[in-house]
Structure 1
Amino acid sequence: MIESSRLSSPSRSLWRHQRDRLATGLIAAGGIGVVLAVMAIGAFLAFEVLPALVGGGLDVGRLRDSLTPMAWGTLKAALWAMVFAIPLALGAAMHSALFMSQRLRSRMKPTLEMMEALPGVVVGFIAGLVLAPWIERHLAGALALLFLLPSGVLLAAAGWRRLPVSARRHMSLSRAGLWLMPWLALLAYASFALAPMVEERLFGGDLRFWLDAELGLDYATRNALIVGLAMGFAIMPSVYALAEDALSGVPSRLGEGAHALGATRWQTLWRVVLPAAAPGIFAAVMIGAGRAVGETMIVLMASGNTALMSLNPFEGMRTMAAGIAVEMPEAVPGSEEYLLLMLAALLLFAFTFLVNTLAEVVRSRLRRRYRWLGGVP
């Protein structure tokens, strides 16, 4: 029995080695296949558009008039989405990784990550049919809330620092997300309760008319602000998950060494942890930006799909992805409209590809710079 087991062990080892090689080969083939598929998409778009563009098959004037508003709308929508998503996602990641208790973190992190599974069409539907009309009816309160919530968080932090030590123990930073909720709810109630009175005294009872008459800002029901809120909500979970993993991967000895030298938590966060986790945080932000640029249904349902070029956050826009989704089914293959949409798809593909490539290049350089730390994500 012993000899037979000894004889069978080399064959088992050989089988396991072959199985591992087969699995490695399949994984490598899958990765190569994905890369080739992406390159094939870019090559197909280029072969469809470039001959007509070089040969004069596209009118330059119409090309400029059609693509410029969509390019502007794409950047505008992505900018407002990042304005709302990045502070919330990075703030939540820093609090979850460095201040939250392990027990609470194990419950909150999966909950936030599950938000990423929510379909974009559902978010766009709610934003376009529920959020946009509600904000239009309560515009003064919604704008007041956007200013009061950040100010209220800073005020709560300043008040917490002035509390006695015994009170700080009961209101620890590890559970700040819990004891801040009643304070933020009070601020929200105050902003909407006092907004009609403030609107009556400062803006003559109609904030929309005042914005149009005094600042020249026209207000549309579905606008860039709505798109920013909805798309920021959609991309925030992915940015949070990647940034939180990067911050959690920083070696604990770095923070412990900074505390031993007399640094506060805030100094340790800004001068030690954030520089060490910079590669992962940068990658998280760029991935969020790439998704914001390519998002289709949220922009289509919450922006009004109007081809406008303005800095006004209360007006709609039209992005490249939304324009392709609306007009491509009706475009005749080979027509000028079809070639314009193909060119828009090629520009969108090239922009996303360049953004992701730039993110990877910068991330690699930052990784080499902080490699001496050890364990940097």
Structure 2
Amino acid sequence: MVGRLTLLVGDDAGNVSAWFAARPDAVDDSSNSASSSSGSITDDPDSSSVADIPEGPEEVSEEQAEAAVSGATRFIRGHDLGNGPAAVAALAPSSRSRETAVAYADGSVRVLQVTTNDVLAEAKLPTENLRPSEIVLTMPPGEQETTLYAAAAGRLYRAALDFGYPEAGLKAYFRPLHYESYAEPRHVWQTSSATNAGEPKLGLMPLVFGTLKATFYSLLFGVPLALLAALYTSEFLSKPARSRVKPVIEVMASLPSVVLGFLAAIVFAPLVESWLPSVIAAALTVPLTLLVAARIWQSLPQSTRPRWGRWRLPLAAFAIVVGFAIAALLGGPIERLVFAGDVKLWLNGQIGSGFGAWLMLFVPLSAIVVATAAGHWLDPLILRAAGDWSLKRFGIVELLRFSISTLLAFSSAALASWLMTSVGLDPRGTYVGTYVQRNALVVGFVMGFAIIPIIYTLADDALNAVPESLRSASLGAGATQWQTALRVVVPTAMSGLFSAVMVGLGRAVGETMIVLMAAGNTPIMEFNIFNGFETLSAAIATEMPEAVRGSTHFRTLFLAALVLFGLTFLVN
């Protein structure tokens, strides 16, 4: 067929199949280094022959030695194109596409699409007493259509074929297909190739996956910050300070996404790569220092808090700076103790065990479990015993409880990680894996800042719309300011908070420039936070100017835009 990589085979049972060489680890067309001579065809579609390496003292050729080193190349049956009504008499593959014409002994003629295994056309030659050896098919290329010629019993038949875009369709876009040189069916988006393969790969699932991946990580970073910031400015910050803070956050929405994308690609991506262990540690030290600062604030005498009230926000910012400073100091020791001395080689699976990967997963989970358990069982006991305690004593006890809970969370996470590693489980290659400079971590961080102003503004308005009488009634009943915010204000404003998150989700789904400049534009389907991806919007922006007008690629990009619109419409 076109590309000279696929061999079509028809037998006397009417079966037509497509065979090509592939390695088990082949993932793209660049792995096309094998030819059909590396194996032999068998009748069993599930079996495949491997290049034979002579044993004993026999001389081994360079090709055989290379195959033995790089991985065995198999000649596999990639497509089973169905059974015909009679024995296959002739095959005529197109010289410019993945279609082929098949003639059968009873005079039936079919045109098949090899990649999607579809039957595009079917007819029967009006000739009786036909001999299979007399049938000749050919499909010479045409400019606008493919013409099929069939010669049989001294007659010549001509059919003009115009199937439009047979390589497109729901099957090609949203289901895994078995492409040339691939060991198994895959979702692949590849509109250009460095080889002579002529098989279009227009699967949209990698782009949809990349869009959802970028959205997930940006929301994972942006939503908690935006909602907590809105809750803080609405319920705890003084009105003069709030009147200054809120406009500053809202101005962030005016930053052009191309500027954020430039900063992500040129500044943040190299910075994160250089300080990767410290960045991983900062995900733990920054929240921890904020919580410690909050516990210290709670332990201050009640007479001291009003005087220091105006310094609450600067002190919180200082706690964040301290958290980053601690992460920078702990980066080196963490890399040596947890990541076997080199975090990139460790992520690639070349050194160390999966203990660090399990620890990154279990620390937040165990913290949630321990905090929930402490709030459900331990806090009521402390409250019952604290009837005659002073505020200072109560704050010290709370600080001690927090320290014990933190230690318990870390211990349980380390124990669970050790148990998972002991049984031989290694999560590297799933949610963590090979590190690429432009990755989902950088995109999530920068795109999170792009959606924070939108979510914050709507959430703050929703919280401030709660009647003041509800707050006064809760405070008058003896509830603290935090209890009032969490148990009265937030449930009342829940519909507005949900709407704010949904608007931010719609903004993240349609983002173009940040993912275009910082995501690496590699259409792969991996959950790894440390590698790149490609989104629907980025593919449209980069490939639309180069797509041939009216081609399948050109129309597929319009379909990608329709899918992107559908995702945004469903979200909103």
User: Does the alignment pair 1:95 with 2:205?
Assistant: no
What is residue 262 of structure 1 aligned with on the other side? 478
How much identity, in percent, do the aligned residues show?
Answer: 45
User: Does the alignment pair 1:210 with 2:346?
Assistant: yes
Which SS does the other structure have where 1:58 is aligned? coil
The CA deviation at 1:234 is 0.7
4+ runs deviating over 6 angstroms: none
The CA deviation at 1:350 is 1.2
1:3-14 to 2 correspondence within 5 Å?
none
The CA deviation at 1:77 is 0.3
User: Does the alignment pair 1:190 with 2:304?
Assistant: no
Query: What amino acid is the match of 1:354?
Result: L
User: Does the alignment pair 1:130 with 2:253?
Assistant: no
1:1-377 to 2 correspondence within 5 Å?
58-64=168-174, 65=187, 66-172=203-309, 175-213=311-349, 214=353, 215-216=428-429, 217-356=433-572
**Which protein shows a greater Rg?**
2
Give the distance between the partners of 2:522 and 2:252, measured in 1 at CA.
29
Which SS does the other structure have where 2:531 is aligned? coil
Query: What amino acid is the match of 1:221?
Result: Q
Deviation larger for 197-206 or 299-308: 197-206
Superimposed CA distance per residue, residues 189-213 of structure 1 (whole angstroms, 9 cap, x where no aligned partner): 1211231133223323211111222
Superimposed CA distance per residue, residues 260-286 of structure 1 (whole angstroms, 9 cap, x where no aligned partner): 122222221122111221222111110
Go from structure 1 to structure 2 and tell me whether the alpha carbon gap of 1:305 and 1:55 turns closer, same or farther (over 3 Å shift).
Answer: closer
Verify the 8 A CA contact 1:73 1:317 in the aligned structure 2: yes
Give the distance between the partners of 1:342 and 1:284, measured in 2 at CA.
29
Q: Which segments of 5 or more consecutive residues in structure 1 lack a partner in the other structure? A: 1-52, 357-377
The CA deviation at 1:166 is 2.9
Superimposed CA distance per residue, residues 337-369 of structure 1 (whole angstroms, 9 cap, x where no aligned partner): 11211111111111111211xxxxxxxxxxxxx
Verify the 8 A CA contact 1:171 1:179 in the aligned structure 2: no
What is residue 362 of structure 1 aligned with on the other side? none
Q: Which segments of 5 or more consecutive residues in structure 2 lack a partner in the other structure? A: 1-162, 175-186, 188-202, 354-427
Give the distance between the partners of 1:311 and 1:72, measured in 2 at CA.
9
TM-score by length of 1: 0.77
Give the distance between the partners of 1:60 and 1:201, measured in 2 at CA.
49
Give the distance between the partners of 1:277 and 1:349, measured in 2 at CA.
29
Superimposed CA distance per residue, residues 101-142 of structure 1 (whole angstroms, 9 cap, x where no aligned partner): 111111111111001000000000000111001110110011
Alpha-carbon RMSD across the aligned residues, in angstroms, is 1.9
State the structure with bigger RCO (CA 8 A, min sep 6), 1 or 2.
1
Give the distance between the partners of 1:265 and 1:72, measured in 2 at CA.
42
Give the distance between the partners of 2:551 and 2:165, measured in 1 at CA.
14
Give the distance between the partners of 2:565 and 2:220, measured in 1 at CA.
23
Superimposed CA distance per residue, residues 137-196 of structure 1 (whole angstroms, 9 cap, x where no aligned partner): 110011111111112212222222222223323333x64221122222122112112311
The CA deviation at 1:69 is 0.4
Query: What amino acid is the match of 1:104?
Result: A
Superimposed CA distance per residue, residues 319-343 of structure 1 (whole angstroms, 9 cap, x where no aligned partner): 1011111111111232111121111
The CA deviation at 1:55 is 8.7
Verify the 8 A CA contact 2:229 2:456 in the aligned structure 1: yes
TM-score by length of 2: 0.51
Verify the 8 A CA contact 1:101 1:175 in the aligned structure 2: no
Give the distance between the partners of 2:561 and 2:339, measured in 1 at CA.
44
Higher-helix-fraction structure: 1
Give the distance between the partners of 2:254 and 2:472, measured in 1 at CA.
36
Verify the 8 A CA contact 1:82 1:228 in the aligned structure 2: yes
The CA deviation at 1:56 is 5.6
Give the distance between the partners of 1:250 and 1:165, measured in 2 at CA.
28
Query: What amino acid is the match of 2:275?
Result: H
Count of residue pairs the alignment pairs up:
303
Query: What amino acid is the match of 1:80?
Result: Y
Verify the 8 A CA contact 1:224 1:317 in the aligned structure 2: yes
What is residue 150 of structure 2 aligned with on the other side? none
Give the distance between the partners of 1:98 and 1:54, measured in 2 at CA.
62
